[in-house]
A = this chain, B = another copy of it.
């Protein structure tokens, strides 16, 4: 992934969802079937010195949209989140990195279903890790990709 592509992807993210800039979320990897983002601790903490649950959720959830843009033709496919479940495993006291992947079979299945039916559902598992690699949260999101009209 080139710096230029990442800069482009981050500009697009911030203009799509202004809150991402407010939270300080930065995409750090954007490839077909794989995306990663980081959120700083600064500005996203709470009174007990851990990252606020909603900030952690946001850096995870946003990857569902980002992975669609990174993997499919964004001019044709629009992602929607239908629901998500997050588990908070450890308090986060550092910046957090969220990562998610879709395997090639799933990518092909989604593309085929959207072309055939106009929409396709997919599940995305997101892993959120602290600076030392500790898993602080896992999120499972239910998304739908729809053909733009």
Q: Closest chain B residue to A16 by CB distance?
A: B47
Please report the C-alpha to C-alpha distance between residue A146 and residue B3 in the assembled complex, in whole angstroms.
45
In the complex, identify which listed stretch (A79-87, A102-110, A116-124, A126-134) lies at the interface while the others stay far away.
A79-87
Q: How many copies does the complex hold?
A: 2
Chain B residues with CB under 8 A of A15:
47
Chain B residues with CB under 8 A of A54:
19, 23, 54, 57-58, 61-62
Q: Which A positions have Cβ atoms within 8 angstroms of B?
A: 15-19, 22-23, 43-48, 52-55, 57-58, 61-62, 78, 81-88
Q: Which 5 A-B pairs have the closest CB atoms?
A: A54-B58, A16-B47, A85-B85, A83-B87, A17-B46
